[in-house]
């Protein structure tokens, strides 16, 4: 087992690290502390740069024009890309592009023309509509949105809750029940245009996330052509589950990046700050916080990299992805919390990114499946069929 980075990995990670420090951090100084977007001129300029670096659309498969970088390296890149104020939910403000809804790679050619290619070109945006007011932890049972066949169309009625970015999207994936007798085998994924009659989106609450409203979607006799079914009828839950499993790896990597940056800030600060006639760094209470941070960061990094390596090799990685999400989100929260404590009053001021990380990191133990659900996934993998 070789735990060292290859020369190529070191080179790419060095490039991204410099990009964040030289391009993103200076711009962020001028932005509102809660901003989640750059102005159009800066955005276009930086997109041209990431294209020049050959790093645009990192998660786009090479056959669709992506840069063909393996998942372990992309995980290390995701750790770097998160190391700025908006890094948890808007890593590098999106200037590295991305595949968007990865399920669309499984779409029909007609669907790809309409939704996938425009997304890859940055012309269209999608949302992922799974959770409902009846619950998001166990969506297979909770989904009540119903689709009923009507000739070549399906008529959809129901409500989705907490859906990110639906107020700014052109289309989205909507998971609806198409066979009520079959549980998780009775859910189908529909691609839905947001300008369809009967589609209603409403911003509901401003969450702990900066510059972000959660949305509620209502479908009122919304007519969707059968040609807009993604994958197979009644097989939509497998599509949702696959996406959730894969997404856990970059989601976890972002938490580690933020934890690393917070720890770097604390390591710089505590030797300079004096209380009671001596630097904070001379106090064992402070040293132990730094030590615990270092251990939290290292443990979660190895677990996340193991998940990425297994996914890359094509072997089962469900348990490892759940562990990665669980460990990195919880460790990230502890690290940011300790760093805030070491900075004192400054730790909670908007002058530093810590308060934003603290708020947004808290969501991470709930979004994309709460910690308890990750433990449930791991327990199922450990106990297998003996668990009812
Ligand atoms: C900011 C934000 C953005 C989101 N974006 C999206 C999105 O784009 N698309 C989307 O589909 N969803 C989205 N969600 C929804 C998110 O995935 C759900 O909030 C999450 O899955 C939890 O579902 P819930 O809120 O219904 O909680 P519930 O399912 O009601 O669970 C409540 C709590 O119960 C506990 N719990 C649940 N199951 C168990 C168990 N088996 N054992 C022990 N304890 C348990 C957990 O602590 C959980 O937090 C978003 C949520 C937030 C906050």
Give the model confidence (pLDDT) of 146-168 as tens digits: 999 999 999 999 999 999 999 99
pLDDT at 183: 81
Determine the pLDDT at residue 2: 84
Architecture of domain 126-230: Beta Barrel (2.40)
- The DSSP annotation for 269-309 comes to HTTT-EETTEEGGGSHHHHHHHHHHHHHHHHHHHHHHHHHH
pTM for the whole structure: 0.95
pLDDT tens series, the chain, 388 aa: 888 999 999 999 999 999 999 999 999 999 999 999 999 999 999 999 999 999 999 999 999 999 989 999 999 999 999 999 999 999 999 999 988 888 899 899 999 999 999 999 889 999 999 999 998 898 888 999 999 999 999 999 999 999 999 999 999 999 999 998 878 899 999 999 999 999 999 998 889 999 888 899 999 999 999 999 999 999 999 988 888 899 999 999 999 999 999 999 999 999 999 999 999 999 999 999 999 999 999 999 999 999 999 999 999 999 999 999 999 999 999 999 999 999 999 999 999 999 999 999 999 999 999 999 999 999 999 998 776 5
| d(C-alpha 167, C-alpha 256), whole Å | 29
Distances (CA, A) of 140 to 99, 228, 254: 25, 21, 27
Domain parsing of the chain, residue ranges: 7-104, 126-230, 238-386
Active site annotation includes 52: no
- Is the CB of residue 208 below 6 angstroms from any atom belonging to ligand 1? no
**133 CB near ligand 1 (under 6 Å):** no
- Which CATH superfamily does the domain covering 238-386 fall into? Butyryl-CoA Dehydrogenase, subunit A, domain 3 (1.20.140.10)
118 lines ligand 1 (CB under 6 A): no
Q: How far is the CA of 133 from the centre of ligand 1 (A)?
A: 10
pLDDT at position 386: 73
C-beta 271 within 6 A of ligand 1 = no
Beta strands in the chain (DSSP E): 126-129, 146-150, 153-163, 171-177, 187-193, 199-206, 213-225, 229-230, 274-275, 278-279
Give me the pLDDT at residue 388, please. Answer: 59
How many whole angstroms from 335 Cα to the centroid of ligand 1?
23
Domain 7-104: assigned CATH number: 1.10.540.10
């Amino acid at each position: 087992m070789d735990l060292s980075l290859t020369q190529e990995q070191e080179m790419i990670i060095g490039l991204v690290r410099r990009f964040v420090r030289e391009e993103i951090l200076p711009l962020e100084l001028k932005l509102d502390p809660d901003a989640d977007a750059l102005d159009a001129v800066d955005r276009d300029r930086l997109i041209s740069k990431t294209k020049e670096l050959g790093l645009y659309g990192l998660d786009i498969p090479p056959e669709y024009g992506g840069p063909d970088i393996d998942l372990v390296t992309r995980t290390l890149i995701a750790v770097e890309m998160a190391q700025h104020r908006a890094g948890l939910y808007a890593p590098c403000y999106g200037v590295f592009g991305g595949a968007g809804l990865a399920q669309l790679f499984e779409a029909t050619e007609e669907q790809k023309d309409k939704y996938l290619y425009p997304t890859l070109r940055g012309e269209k945006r999608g949302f992922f509509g799974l959770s409902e007011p009846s619950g998001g932890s166990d969506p297979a049972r909770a989904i009540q949105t119903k689709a009923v066949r009507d000739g070549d169309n399906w008529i959809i009625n129901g409500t989705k809750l907490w859906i990110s970015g639906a107020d700014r999207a052109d289309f989205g994936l909507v998971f609806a029940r198409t066979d009520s007798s079959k549980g998780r085998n009775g859910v189908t994924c529909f691609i839905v245009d947001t300008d369809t009659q009967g589609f209603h989106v409403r911003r509901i609450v401003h969450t702990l996330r900066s510059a972000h409203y959660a949305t509620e979607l209502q479908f009122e006799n919304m007519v969707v052509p059968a040609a807009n079914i993604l994958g197979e009828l009644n097989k939509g839950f497998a599509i949702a589950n696959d996406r959730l499993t894969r997404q856990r790896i970059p989601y976890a990597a972002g938490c580690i990046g933020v934890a690393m940056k917070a720890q770097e800030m604390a390591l710089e600060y505590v030797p300079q700050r004096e209380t009671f006639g001596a630097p904070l760094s001379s106090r064992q209470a402070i040293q132990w916080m730094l030590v615990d941070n270092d251990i939290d960061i290292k443990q979660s990094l190895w677990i996340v990299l193991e998940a990425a390596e297994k996914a890359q090799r094509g072997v089962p990685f469900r348990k490892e992805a759940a562990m990665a999400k669980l460990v990195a989100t919880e460790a990230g929260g502890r690290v940011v919390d300790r760093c805030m404590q070491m900075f004192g009053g400054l730790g909670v001021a908007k002058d530093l990114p810590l308060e934003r990380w603290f708020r947004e990191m808290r969501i991470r133990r709930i979004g994309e499946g709460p910690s308890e659900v990750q433990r449930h996934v791991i327990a199922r993998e450990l106990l297998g069929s003996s668990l009812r």
